[in-house]
A = this chain, B = another copy of it.
Amino acid sequence: MRTDKKNVQVIEFIAVGSELLSSSFLETNSLFLAEKLEQIGLNLTFKTVVSDRWAELQQVIRTARERSQIIFLSGGLGPTEDDRTKEVLARVLRRRLIFKPELLERIKKRFASRGLVMPASNKKQAYLVEGAETLENPNGTAPGQWLETGGKIFVLLPGPPPEFKPMVENLVLPRLENLSQKKVIKAFFKITGVGESWVEDRLKEIYQLLPPYLELTILASPGDIQVILSLKIESPNQEAKRVEELEKIKAEISRLLGDKIYAFEPKTLEQVVAEKLIKLKKTIATAESCSGGFLAHRLTNIPGSSNYFKLGLVTYSNEAKIKLLGVPKTLIDLKGAVSAEVARAMASGLLKRAKVDLAVAITGIAGPGGGSQKKPVGLVYLALASSNEIKVEKCHFLGTREQIKFQATQKALDMVRLKLLKLEHNSGAIKRKAS
């Protein structure tokens, strides 16, 4: 590598394509690239989106060459006239485009393998900027290019994410790893059942303990919080000691947040619940009013869900609650459909009907209409019935109709998770006793 390691600082990503400047398209390649770069301790410094017009693209490449050391260009490698990324780059660098017969052969073969003849326009894709190496594209006709010149690296990649992503992962990252001695190790904590301020408050003391090479980030959305610890390692000889430090902080966070943590990796709550249900061989059924089937939908989004999910009822009307779940009509008349008593009756009725290990019921007011001063929008009762107990919880969620539906299902899943934890713990205790 001719590029000096100490100079690897400024990395720029340029997305080429007029459509990426419109309101209909969101450029996401840069997020994937940023994630992969972070893993090897590198960060993007500039991100630019530019149309495929010659003058503007030329201006952007010139600016990037002046201010950045590694320049990624994504898009504009196709066969049409509007695809001119490599043409403009060649002009800026005052280099020629070189025809590569072996690339042409590969493109022709790709068409032939589908029983097609290569259109003449695709010949354009067999040219590289003088001095560039080919980065093979297993998922498309546009090859990528890697060009080192004047202390700069230009990396040309196709725009479609299914082509861009594997090329970054398999071809670009290994080359950059050679440039970077740095590395980042991440630890994840997924949390539910508490608010962002609760988490912040709990982690206050941790913040003060953090060494400069450890970063703590909290990402919060209603009903779901993610805490990410990022450990920076600047050279291999630091690694062992710093990882030890990371483990200490991880243990401390686990202690502080306790069973509010539902996963130590970036998983969804339904994934965690599904895994536990399968592990403990437990079955589940749902009875939903205000969440309208969303809980069943989430539980059945996991492949293999028919192993644990047996029945879901969306008892939106009172009649359905009475007929299908055996909720007494007098109870609904007396307490209202949105009440602790009706939630309890729904769960216990469902448990009997569905013959499952766990029956969850949700009743509440998702809004925006239907609320009153006594029973406001966002009021939700949840009940979880099993052979030995029925647990009922009252919640008051804030947000839009969809946010309230989500938080209600999140709470229901969390009640199931905590129940399964208890079952797991008890069965462990019994086993220990027996042995």
Could you list which residues of chain A lie within 8 angstroms of chain B, going by C-beta atoms? 20-24, 26, 28, 30-32, 34-35, 38, 43-51, 56, 59-60, 63, 67, 217, 219, 228, 286, 288, 291-297, 299-301, 303-306, 309-317, 319-320, 324, 354, 366-370, 401-402, 405
Q: Are A316 and B320 in contact (CB under 8 A)?
A: no
Q: Are B309 and A312 in contact (CB under 8 A)?
A: no
Q: Are B309 and A24 in contact (CB under 8 A)?
A: no
Q: Are B22 and A301 in contact (CB under 8 A)?
A: no
Which B residues lie within 8 Å of A26 (CB)? 26, 28, 31
Q: Known: A48-B48, A296-B314. Is A368-B21 also a contact (CB below 8 A)?
A: no
Q: Are B301 and A24 in contact (CB under 8 A)?
A: no
Q: Are A312 and B293 in contact (CB under 8 A)?
A: yes
Give the residue of B219, B295, B300, B369 whose beta carbon is less than 8 angstroms from that of A316. Answer: B300
Q: Are A56 and B46 in contact (CB under 8 A)?
A: yes
Pull 23 A–B residue pairs with CB atoms less than 8 Å apart, ordered by A: A20-B47, A21-B45, A22-B43, A23-B32, A23-B38, A24-B219, A63-B63, A288-B293, A292-B312, A293-B293, A293-B296, A293-B297, A293-B314, A294-B297, A297-B405, A300-B314, A300-B316, A301-B405, A303-B368, A303-B369, A310-B316, A310-B317, A311-B314
Q: Are B23 and A46 in contact (CB under 8 A)?
A: no
Q: Are B313 and A317 in contact (CB under 8 A)?
A: no
Q: Are B297 and A297 in contact (CB under 8 A)?
A: yes
Give the residue of B22, B309, B314 whose beta carbon is less than 8 angstroms from that of A38. Answer: B22
Question: Of A20, A51, A311, A405, which is in contact with the most chain B CB atoms at under 10 Å from its CB?
Answer: A311
In whole angstroms, how far apart are the Cα atoms of A367 and B300 in the complex? 11
Q: Are A314 and B315 in contact (CB under 8 A)?
A: no
Q: Known: A24-B219, A56-B46. Is A292-B301 also a contact (CB below 8 A)?
A: yes
Which B residues lie within 8 Å of A56 (CB)? 45-46
Which B residues lie within 8 Å of A401 (CB)? 301, 303
